[in-house]
Structure 1
């Protein structure tokens, strides 16, 4: 469904939006879309001030600051996607790899479409099995899970129904930031060590990104890859 002119326009306008809000935009943005998802992969996205903060091991301070700015950008991003691609996004997710200054932004259309949008690809059964096992180890087995490629470099996994009662109580008590930090560290560690992308896809991932919509009990995992080798 990708239109090259629309994608070029979207990339340009998103770059401007990030520069206007952050003072510096990414060196490159890789944009793709399908019927249920829009993905944006940012490379070399870090300001001078953020570099200094990262050198002082203030990673969470950088994440907190970016979240404040991204909260302002999300409505503009949704409007931009509707205007350029004609897609009305339901949820926006994002995460950063602060070690290599990259990031991912995922916009999901109505999740009720997932059951109709089923994609078969090499290694899918293995990946789903491992992610289910990791989810059960870290929290609980997902009630539902879907995965799809938005392009040859970006694999998106959507999980629903993974929060346990203790996590829901922590959220009600106002501990969302701490819960997010703990879950990101635990799940990324498990995904790195227990999902063998060489075995599944014959490829090496160059990035793993996670985000949650706790009020919806929904989460995304994104694996990125360094080239557009066919899946």
Structure 2
């Protein structure tokens, strides 16, 4: 579904929306889509205030502020993507690499379509095995997992059914922010040390992003790669 005119319109409108809400938009947005997913890769996305906060090592404060704004914008994102691409998104995920001011946003359609959208690619079996192993170390073996490319630079891995009982109880008790911080640090560390993407794919990623929908017990992992 590479409708270049529609993707160009979406890129332009998304950039304006982010500028209006954050005061400064990304220098570039790389948008791509397939039957089950829309991906947006933001580069050089940081405001003057955020730069000051990051210089003071207030990374989590920046993340909290962005999450508040992005959550408020989700209905607008869904409406914009529906209007331009005709896709009805079920969930939107996002994460940031604050070190290089980049970010990713992933919109997923109904996950029941994943089984019909199967994609083979180099290293897939190895990557799935390693992600299952890491998931089992950090929480539990996923009940389900799918992966696919939204473009030649963006690999999306979707896991479902990974929360353990203790995590669910922490969420009920209102500890979602702390759980999110802990899981991001733990899982990113394990993914960086235990998944050799260069060996699996003969390509070295330049970005790794994670997000969760705790109420759905679903998570995404996104690897981005330099242009070949």
TM over 0.5: yes
CA RMSD of aligned residues (A): 0.4
5 Å-filtered alignment, 1:37-186, equals: 37-186=37-186
Cα deviation code 1:150-174 (max 9, x no counterpart): 0000000000000000000000000
Give the number of equivalent residue pairs: 228
The structural deviation recorded for 1:2 is 1.2
What secondary structure sits across from 1:114 in the alignment?
helix
Please name the residue that 2:204 is paired with. 204
- Give the TM-score normalised by the residue count of structure 2: 0.99
The structural deviation recorded for 1:4 is 0.7
**CA–CA separation in structure 2 for the residues paired with 1:17 and 1:226:** 26
Runs of 4 or more above 6 Å deviation: none
5 Å-filtered alignment, 1:220-231, equals: 220-227=220-227, 229=228
Farther off after superposition, 71-80 or 132-141: 71-80
**CA–CA separation in structure 2 for the residues paired with 1:137 and 1:72:** 33
Cα deviation code 1:160-206 (max 9, x no counterpart): 00000000000000000000000000000000111101111101111
Please name the residue that 1:30 is paired with. 30
Please name the residue that 1:20 is paired with. 20
Cα deviation code 1:50-86 (max 9, x no counterpart): 0010010000000000011101211101000100000
**CA–CA separation in structure 1 for the residues paired with 2:3 and 2:174:** 43
**CA–CA separation in structure 2 for the residues paired with 1:209 and 1:26:** 17
What secondary structure sits across from 1:115 in the alignment?
helix
Please name the residue that 1:188 is paired with. 188
**CA–CA separation in structure 1 for the residues paired with 2:14 and 2:196:** 33
**CA–CA separation in structure 1 for the residues paired with 2:4 and 2:64:** 34
**CA–CA separation in structure 2 for the residues paired with 1:56 and 1:42:** 23
**CA–CA separation in structure 1 for the residues paired with 2:98 and 2:151:** 23
What secondary structure sits across from 1:106 in the alignment?
strand
- Give the TM-score normalised by the residue count of structure 1: 0.98
**CA–CA separation in structure 1 for the residues paired with 2:120 and 2:34:** 15
